[in-house]
Amino acid sequence: MTAADGTDSGPDEEPSEPGMTLEELSAETGIPARTIRYYQAEKILQKPNRARSDARVARYTDEHVERLKLVAELRDRGLKLPAIRQLLQEGDASTRVADWLGLDSSLRGSWGHDEPRIVSASELSELLEGTPPGTQGLLEDAGFFSRQGQAWLVPSEPLLDVAAGLVRSGVDVDIVVEAVVENAKVKGIVLAETEKEINADAVLASNTSTISITQLAESLERPQNFCGMHFFNPVHAMPLVEVIRGAKTSDTAVARTVAYANKMGKKAVVVNDCPGFLVNRVLFPYFGGFNALMRDGADFQAVDKVMERWGWPMGPAYLMDVVGIDTGVHAAQVMAEGFPDRMQPDFKSVTEVLFENDRYGQKNGKGMYEYVTDKRGKPKKVVNDDIYELIAPVCGERTEFERDDIIARLMLPMAIETARCVEEGIVGTPAEADLALLYGVGFPPFRGGIFRWMDTVGLAHLAEASARFAHLGKAYELTEGMQDMLANGKTYY
């Protein structure tokens, strides 16, 4: 090629591609290439550009370098990847992270360069010393600290000090949520003490999954300001909150609690007080159907596969492991006491055997399944054949059940109990009940909810299944309301 001055400038050269390759990015940041790929898959790191000359070649920029540096610093400070992903994905990531890390004092205002730190449970108690009961739950909900495994992450200790000081001095609050151990006596004491520390018009709510709100209100001077607020585990993933109205709960308390749940980004459904409220009350007949199938010789793996193919995110055995076998046994006892005619089994269940053998599910690594940590650090279920020997004394001879029979024996008790809840006024409408099951337990979304499913298959189909499984007990008996709807050709929608 000849230059403008007539001299030979040498052979033509391809213009260099902007950015760097994956290997160059790895060398620049000191982060292994496979880790970078993992961050991309987990949506922690944005996707690379593509080279103009070959779209198969990824090109990374300074933005990728800066993001990886932030991720490394966050990990050094003790954050786990799910928390990092949430932090980076909410709003303006650069501003939020810089502010959160104290990298720019102008973004932190008068709080200066205080750094986040990990504290133990005892250290957190010291920081909150002198505050009234319920303060920890209140400040955690407000974002002043968050749980990280067995410890706590405090983004700004000076800010937490100010918040705790305001609470100690009796700052006005609109609502306080109690979330202590699931024990009626302990909750009653904590609620009564908390009520003395808050304004007369403040709402007091209890995060409980089984304890009667009307019963808990007996220890309070202002029961009209008290209600239940039942979150579902895992709280960060499950959108539903049941707002439970006790016998003396006012409309104002309910409305304020619903507004608070909405402010948190949750889906609130108002229900009336009864054992199990709505979701647990209708979920445990489903688990009861599973236990009866196991008694009659079903294979729990086969049952899980059928229900997962039907649309559930996990089958009943896996779901019980995730809920917690100990939690499930306790809740089942509450349901049996509240509804003995249809939820009191006349046989020993596999879940009771698991509980007696300290197999509590995913929380301690062994339940119906056993759990190992996969390469992403998440629990992975595996089957240990020893479980079959353990549960054999309460299970019949191994039997292969038809797919439709498995579905009917699990879904019919749940459907009937949900219909009964609407008829009794525990929940206002079929639509609200459908919403609760969709957001609270992962009912298959494409089926639209349990009432929509009942309309789809028809009450005549359910009546036929009810008759076929009548020998299994009252849990399979259609309600009077369902029988009336069938006789009159009515549907729920």
Active site residues: 230
CB contact at 8 A, 291 and 332: no
CB contact at 8 A, 369 and 318: yes
b vs e for 272-309, b when ≥16 Cβ sit within 10 Å of the residue's Cβ? Answer: bbbbbbbbbbbbbbbbbbbbbbbbeebbbbbbbebbee
The CB density around residue 123, as the number of other CB atoms within 10 Å, is 14
List, in sequence order, every residue forming a beta bridge with 2; answer none if it has no partner: 8
Which residue spans within 308-378 are E strands per DSSP? 370-373
Helices (H) and strands (E) in the chain, counts: 24, 12
Q: Which helix (H) or strand (E) holds 163?
A: helix 157-168
Q: 43: Cβ–Cβ under 8 A, 6 or more apart, which residues? A: 85, 89
CB contact at 8 A, 49 and 19: yes
Amino acid at position 31, single letter: I
Which residue spans within 106-255 are E strands per DSSP? 117-119, 146-148, 151-154, 175-178, 203-206, 226-231, 240-245
What does residue 428 show for φ and ψ, rounded to 5 degrees?
A: -70, -40
N-term to C-term CA, the chain: 78
CB contact at 8 A, 418 and 282: yes
CB contact at 8 A, 163 and 141: no
Give the side-chain half-sphere CA count within 13 A for 131.
23
The CB density around residue 185, as the number of other CB atoms within 10 Å, is 9
Query: Can you say whether residue 358 is alpha, beta or left, with left for phi > 0 and alpha for psi between -120 and 50 degrees?
Result: left
Among 316, 284, 282, residue whose Cα is nearest residue 299: 316
Strand-pair category, 151-154 with 146-148: antiparallel
What does residue 381 show for φ and ψ, rounded to 5 degrees?
A: -85, 140
